[in-house]
Chain A
Amino acid sequence: MRILVCVKQVPDTTEIRIDPETHSMIRTGVPSVLNIFDRYAMEVALRLREQAGEGHITVLSMGPAQAEAVLRECLALGADAAYLATDRAFGGADTLATSYVLAQAIRVIGDFDLVLCGKQAIDGDTAQVGPEIAQHLGWPQVTNAAELTLQGDEYLAKRETDDGYEMLLLPPPGVVTVTKPPFEPRYPSVKGKLAAKRAEIHILSTENLPLDTAKAGLKGSPTRVRRTYTPAVKTGGVKVEGLPPRESVAGLLEFLQEKVPGEA
């Protein structure tokens, strides 16, 4: 069994700050962490390998050199190999350009039965990269898998929906995006951490990754982020409390009728 897990380094959400002049997220000096959904994906990969009793796990990330840290984190958890796709030409990429580069990297690195991605990155929150990778590769996909296990030669996914769950069988090769599972991810062991510090991170760039640079980075991005901002805090309004329900509703209705005449 050969699994590839796509991971991303994202800003630590407790430290988000917006530049008051540019209204963009300040990334300099902000600690970065492994995207939590990718951590779940990594845990799912480890459990699949334990279930099968064998298997090889590769992790892949696209990002600047500092993204090496999250790859080492995954190596410490038990990944067997790590690749970082890093190049100035990949900078400024939206999800389409990102998924293109990742898909190209997956083709080059090797043959995989399964590609796992976190459901979404907590900075962009688009949830598009996983499905787009599947599309680039021409593979079937299951999104929002809360659980994934082996059933014979196929993967059984418990997919989270708005109404509950679907159980889907996915023949390899396929792409699965992972949401929060019913278990918490493990921590690395001492030997895992020490080995990860010394492990080789394979670098992929435009020099060794065959791709169309017009489809990568800013050039390959049909969408642009115009602005990132925190929404203005709404003030005002009225709180109705301490009254029996019937009177509370009457009070609210009166307030709404005053504010929006004819609408309430």
Chain B
Amino acid sequence: MQRKPVMPDYESYCRDESRLGGTAREIAFPENARQLAEVLAAAAKEKLKVTVQGARTGLAGGAVPEGGLIISTQNMNAILGLRQEAGVYYLRVQGGVTLEDVHAFLRRPKPGDNWTDEAKSLCEEMGSGQRFTPNPTETTATMGGLFASNAKGTNSLGYGGVGSYVNSLLWADAGGSLREITRGEYVFDQKGCTLPGGSYMTVADTPKGGLPLLYPVQGMDLVDLLAGSEGRAGIIAELELRLEPEPAESWGIVYFFDTDAAALGFAAELANWRVQEENTAMLSAVEYYDGATLEMVRRERENMAALKTMAELPTAAGAALYVVLQGEDPETLELALGEHLELFEAAGGRDEDSWAAMGSAEMEVFDTLRHGVPEMINVQVDALRLECGAIHKTATDFEGPGQRGAEYCEMYHRDIAGSGVEGFVFGHILENRLHVNLLPRNEAEQQTCHQMMQDWARRVLEDGGLIAGESGVGRLRLPLYGEIIPESRKKQLSETLRILDPEGCFSGDWEAVL
């Protein structure tokens, strides 16, 4: 397996969407599990630091190298096969297959030339109508990367993260050994679990301390432990994805409100509505956009091709909620919609200030809005960095206690208003996983933002929340919040990493913080 010098031809591989930059000596592009194992084994022999990369769409700098060797999975992009068990379809893919590739395949399933005859005929039998349920916004991300960050999308409220929909992995450890890990084979009991390869890992006996990753608990499957391990414990060569039938009917509604308070009031009513057992399964997403975000959309949409054709936002709109209902019975969904409409109007909403879409094709424009908002912010950050190099992307990924989303939202708004820095709050309001994006315009404002983030992180930790809810810890967040993460948690994480990566091949840069 050939390794190539990074400079000059592969310099762009030293960066990802976090806007952090790094360095590396060499890069390799394995095309299959065997080549991946070879390059890892060679790197281990030479004691090289390794950074694994998928599509480099991560926001936390997880793919940014700090010396050593980059292993890019971009050429491991084959869809390998299909099987069925107990009526459920499972799709096997290499780690470099993107979510976009999976969607395209499921829209028009076509077997690969190298598939078995059984898989080919199963593919024809399956037809379209299956989906990979989690919907992370960045569809150009690789499945390996999405598993490694346990990515979540707008429908995480209803369906959780990518990890839950992975049935098995072909895992390459730091030494280059390949291991097939299937759900149910390695489960932590009250003490721990013997891992493939023979080492033993005990369950964590410390508080989670704000970090979601590598936190083994009783009942946890090894697949779920590795989900969100951010390329720090090994590399995913292949994954088996669990598919589900598309729901019979989907509704996507954008509700516009005159004020943030009205929007948050409606969100609280939706949370109460959702608690009723018959309603829980139907509500798969509730996304919040604050007034500042809507104002930015009005201002910037002309500069974004995907949003130029979107209708104008209602003039009086000062906040919005995007709600997705899905289910098998159209009448039940319509009843639910009627109930939501009553709640909406009771919160001061007007029907003419709602946008309704039925089915994934119509709902696409609302998904595009959700994707477009962080992109708009990135464009503005890039422009500001040209004027002041000290500025960098400043965004939170905190997840506070689920039922306190409105309270956290008010805290963010209060502090942003007091700081004088421009900021936007949007995201998963019922999970209290809001993305607060700040736009400092100079070094002094960047410092102010840094302090605000630290204060918020402390609040999140005090309340038992997470400092990295969906986009990973990476190289950005551990140094940023290292001082406030409890020592016991750092010790537990360090020990866990030592079991999975004894030589510190993948996790070397965290040593300074842990």
Residues on A lying within 8 angstroms of B by beta carbon are 12, 31, 33, 76, 183-194, 197
Which of B308, B351, B361, B365 is A191 in contact with, Cβ under 8 Å?
A: B351
Q: How far is the CB of B294 from chain A (nearest CB, A)?
A: 15
Which of B254, B310, B337, B361 is A33 in contact with, Cβ under 8 Å?
A: B361
Q: How far is the CB of B365 from chain A (nearest CB, A)?
A: 8
Q: Is the CB of A190 within 8 A of B341?
A: yes
In the complex the two chains form, what is the Cα distance from A205 to B352 in whole Å? 35
Q: Is the CB of A12 within 8 A of B356?
A: no
If the complex has contacts A12-B361, A31-B361, A190-B341, are A76 and B356 also in contact, measured as CB distance less than 8 A? yes
Interface status of B338 (Cβ within 8 A of chain A): yes
In the complex the two chains form, what is the Cα distance from A197 to B331 in whole Å? 11
Which of A33, A184, A192 is B356 in contact with, Cβ under 8 Å?
A: A192
Chain A residues positioned under 8 Å from B340 (CB to CB): 190
In the complex the two chains form, what is the Cα distance from A56 to B355 in whole Å? 22
In the complex the two chains form, what is the Cα distance from A56 to B228 in whole Å? 57
Q: How far is the CB of A196 from chain B (nearest CB, A)?
A: 10
Q: Is the CB of A186 within 8 A of B356?
A: no
Q: Is the CB of B361 within 8 A of A188?
A: no
Q: Is the CB of A184 within 8 A of B311?
A: yes
Residues on B lying within 8 angstroms of A by beta carbon are 253-254, 308-312, 334, 337-338, 340-341, 344, 351-358, 361, 365
In the complex the two chains form, what is the Cα distance from A138 to B172 in whole Å? 76
Q: Is the CB of A190 within 8 A of B356?
A: yes
Chain A residues positioned under 8 Å from B344 (CB to CB): 190
The closest CB in chain A to the CB of B308 belongs to: A184
Chain A residues positioned under 8 Å from B351 (CB to CB): 189-192
Q: Is the CB of A186 within 8 A of B337?
A: no
Max chain B Cβ within 10 angstroms of own Cβ: one of A187, A191, A197: A187
Q: How far is the CB of A184 from chain B (nearest CB, A)?
A: 5
Q: Which 8 A-B pairs have the closest CB atoms?
A: A187-B355, A193-B356, A191-B351, A190-B356, A190-B354, A189-B354, A189-B351, A184-B311
Q: Is the CB of B341 within 8 A of A191?
A: yes
Chain A residues positioned under 8 Å from B309 (CB to CB): 184
Q: Is the CB of A184 within 8 A of B253?
A: no
Max chain B Cβ within 10 angstroms of own Cβ: one of A183, A190, A191: A190
Q: Is the CB of B356 within 8 A of A189?
A: yes
Can you identify 28 A-B contacts, CB atoms within 8 angstroms?
A: A12-B361, A184-B308, A184-B310, A184-B311, A186-B311, A187-B254, A187-B311, A187-B355, A187-B356, A187-B357, A187-B365, A188-B355, A188-B356, A189-B351, A189-B353, A189-B354, A189-B355, A190-B337, A190-B341, A190-B351, A191-B341, A191-B351, A191-B354, A192-B356, A193-B356, A193-B358, A194-B334, A197-B334
In the complex the two chains form, what is the Cα distance from A183 to B254 in whole Å? 20
In the complex the two chains form, what is the Cα distance from A185 to B310 in whole Å? 8
Q: Could you list 10 further interchain pairs (A-B, Cβ under 8 angstroms) beyond the known A76-B356, A189-B351, A189-B353?
A: A31-B361, A184-B311, A184-B312, A187-B311, A190-B340, A192-B351, A194-B334, A194-B337, A194-B338, A197-B334
Q: How far is the CB of A193 from chain B (nearest CB, A)?
A: 4
In the complex the two chains form, what is the Cα distance from A247 to B361 in whole Å? 50
Chain B residues positioned under 8 Å from A31 (CB to CB): 361
The closest CB in chain B to the CB of A184 belongs to: B311
In the complex the two chains form, what is the Cα distance from A197 to B251 in whole Å? 13
If the complex has contacts A31-B361, A76-B356, are A190 and B312 also in contact, measured as CB distance less than 8 A? no
Chain B residues positioned under 8 Å from A183 (CB to CB): 312
Chain B residues positioned under 8 Å from A33 (CB to CB): 361
Q: Is the CB of B356 within 8 A of A185?
A: no
Max chain A Cβ within 10 angstroms of own Cβ: one of B310, B340, B351: B351
In the complex the two chains form, what is the Cα distance from A33 to B357 in whole Å? 13
Q: Is the CB of B361 within 8 A of A189?
A: no
In the complex the two chains form, what is the Cα distance from A197 to B249 in whole Å? 13
